[in-house]
Amino acid sequence: MSLRQIRHELPLPEATSRRLAAMAKAQKRSKSDLLAEMVDTYLNRRSGSQPDDRINAKLDRIIRVVTKSNTECIAISYCLSRFIRHQLIYAAALPPPGKDAIAFGEKRYQEFLDTVARLVARDTNPVQQPPTETSE
């Protein structure tokens, strides 16, 4: 560590100067030492001492988002599996549907697919914006 220091002038507003003096007094340090530490901390935080630190921080944020999304996908898959199982068990106890019921079911299924296609085309989140009810 170099002992050589370069002097800088830093005009501060009066209120900031009072806060700096009070902080230096409370920590029993000189204002110059306190300002030097503050500037050093700020510069290290802003630019990152090494590019790897900034990249790792961004990767950590991405990992958290991906992990959350993965957990949500697992929960959705589990719920869908349970729903399908329930429907298959329930449908096994029912008599076979007639032609009218099959046609009506096909129409409702096509409306469902059209709604999903519209939502995907608009690039919206279907979970946050449920499809509007269609008249029958």
Check whether 1 has a pLDDT greater than 80. Answer: no
Q: Which position has the higher pLDDT, 121 or 13?
A: 13
Tell me what the mean pLDDT of segment 28-36 comes to: 91
Average model confidence (pLDDT) across the chain: 84
Cite the DSSP H helix spans in 28-98: 31-47, 51-92
- Most distant CA pair in the chain: distance in Å? 93
φ/ψ region of 108 (left if φ > 0, alpha if ψ in -120 to 50, else beta) reads alpha
Which range is least confidently modeled, 23-27, 108-112, 114-118, 119-123?
Answer: 119-123
Q: Which position has the higher pLDDT, 22 or 43?
A: 22
